[in-house]
Chain A
Amino acid sequence: MEHTKHLWRAILILVIVVIIYLLGRGFLVPESFGKYGYYRGDNLQEQMNIRVPRHGTGVASCKFCHEDKVDAIIVTPHKVINCETCHAALRIHVEYDSIENFLKDPYSYDKTADMPIFSAQELCIKCHDYQLAKPDDYTTIVVREHLEEREMELGPNVCIACHDPHDPEM
């Protein structure tokens, strides 16, 4: 084959392109990529630390300071509800830097804000209003009938006029 000088030039350019690609790839692909799989391995730790857990561990977290409330509710049908479900997330009330530190020594943390108390009737109705879709073994009332029988109007805080959320059974 004669006249192959141009081929060598083309091959040289190709080799330079390959070198640039390999160098670029070495810089651009993160180091931890491929550590556990086809993804950036560092992200696993990042996701674990993405935010401080706002909710606590349920009733056990509240019991540290509010043992009287927990003891009252634990013998009622409302014992199955987590305190944070009707109130707010724990971190609004006690701002801890990490949940592990809080659980190790909860008494070293002070209250940072009042825990919201939602006394509106919507909170009760969301769960206890009758619907066909709700299971049969769950306590529901037809709100309109329930109030008519007691000659009450549907208005703000009408449920807690008679029911204590921490001891709801009459």
Chain B
Amino acid sequence: MGAIKEKTVNPERGTGVKDMNRRGFLRAFLGVSLLGAMSSVLSAVVPGRVRRALAATKLQPEPVRTGYNAYDHYYSYVINLHKCIGCGSCVRACKMENEVPTGFYRTWVERYQKGEDEHARIDSPEGGLYGFPASTAGVEGVSKAYFVPKMCNHCDETPCVQVCPFGASYKTPDGLILVDGKRCMGCSYCVQACPYASRFINPLTHTADKCTWCYHRTSRGLKPACVQACPTATRLFGDMKDPYDPVRKLIEEERMGVLQPQLLTKPKCYYIGLDKEVR
């Protein structure tokens, strides 16, 4: 056994907790708190200054839309299934208005044909873009048939906003669910999460895309393109915060159904005449 090495304790700075003296403690304490204060000040101040310096070099200002306060509105959508004729005008108008890529649909129309089978036969040829052919072969004894237009329901308690890891999907103050194209990474978690299959990954931008209730139109007091295109007043768009809105009156007075109510997503697309067969 060799000699135990003697540790010389410097009376000025005590190292180690056991033999720390008051001076050593104060030095350590002040050192750490100074470091903490510096780091918080730095992280608060420096990025802002750098950002402002960079912004001053930008050539174009961000476009600002004045005169519209998103908190003054809260939109809802009504679809009257007693009236839909399956013409597909809405699908065509949406494609034209929003440059939706071929093969993808922000809104689409489904046809349900209930025959003798347990479940209805559902078809949606190209989303109803060119209307529907006269009938699908093989459906025996059709007793009831109808069209169901669908799109993003802009739910109040969305699964899609909840699962977005990047804060790209969000709910606006006026009730719409939108996707921030710059923050979206295209992970498609939201595409999986949506129970209404209304989202898709845009093949051109590689970000999540979906019906936006034509926010660039509704924020200017216009109606979405699909609502305007519909020839039979199947699709209606209203502002729940506007006391004179006829669609708001309709929602408050008529009986409405929603798609997949058991999921408790609180959709804002209300259906009149919804059948139990509709999935």
Chain A residues near B (Cβ < 8 Å): 1-5, 8, 11, 15, 18-19, 22-23, 25-27, 31, 33, 36-40, 42-55, 57-58, 80-82, 84-85, 88-89, 99-100, 122, 125-127, 129-135, 138
Contacts and interface: CB of A to CB of B under 8 A. Distances in A.
A44 B222 contact: no
8 contacts: A3-B16, A25-B43, A43-B178, A48-B219, A54-B225, A58-B223, A80-B232, A131-B145
A48 B222 contact: no
A37 B68 CA distance: 18
Contacts of A58: 223, 228
Nearest to A125: B131
A131 B35 contact: no
Contacts of A43: 170, 178, 180, 182-183
Given A26-B44, A80-B232, A134 B212 contact: no
A39 B180 contact: yes
B35 A127 contact: no
A21 B67 CA distance: 39
B146 A138 contact: no
B51 A31 contact: yes
Contacts of A84: 93, 228-229
Contact of A40 (B40, B85, B182): B182
B118 interface: no
Nearest to A139: B85
Interface in B101-124: 111-113
B16 A100 contact: no
B73 interface: no
A4 B15 contact: yes
Interface stretch (B58-66, B190-198, B244-252, B259-267): B58-66
Interface string B165-195: 0011111110000101011000000000000
A126 B229 contact: no
A80 B230 CA distance: 9
B97 A53 contact: yes
Given A19-B39, A48-B215, A2 B97 contact: no
A82 B233 CA distance: 11
Contacts of A45: 62-65
B228 A2 contact: no
B54 to A, nearest CB: 10
A1 B17 contact: yes
Interface in B125-160: 130-132, 134-135, 142, 144-147
Interface residues of B, number: 77
A133 to B, nearest CB: 4
A134 B35 CA distance: 73
Given A27-B50, A89-B97, A82 B220 contact: no
Contacts of B88: 126
B231 A127 contact: yes
Contact of B87 (A3, A25, A48, A126): A126
B89 A85 contact: yes
A51 B225 CA distance: 13
Contact of A1 (B16, B68, B70, B178): B16
Contacts of A23: 39, 42-43, 46-47
B230 to A, nearest CB: 8
Contacts of A82: 228-229, 231
A138 B70 CA distance: 38
Nearest to B15: A5
A133 B180 contact: no
Given A23-B43, A53-B214, A44 B97 contact: no
A53 B167 CA distance: 27
B13 to A, nearest CB: 11
A85 B231 contact: yes
Contacts of B167: 33, 38-40
A2 B39 contact: no
A24 B257 CA distance: 48
B178 A22 contact: no
Contacts of A81: 231
Contacts of A47: 178, 212, 215-216
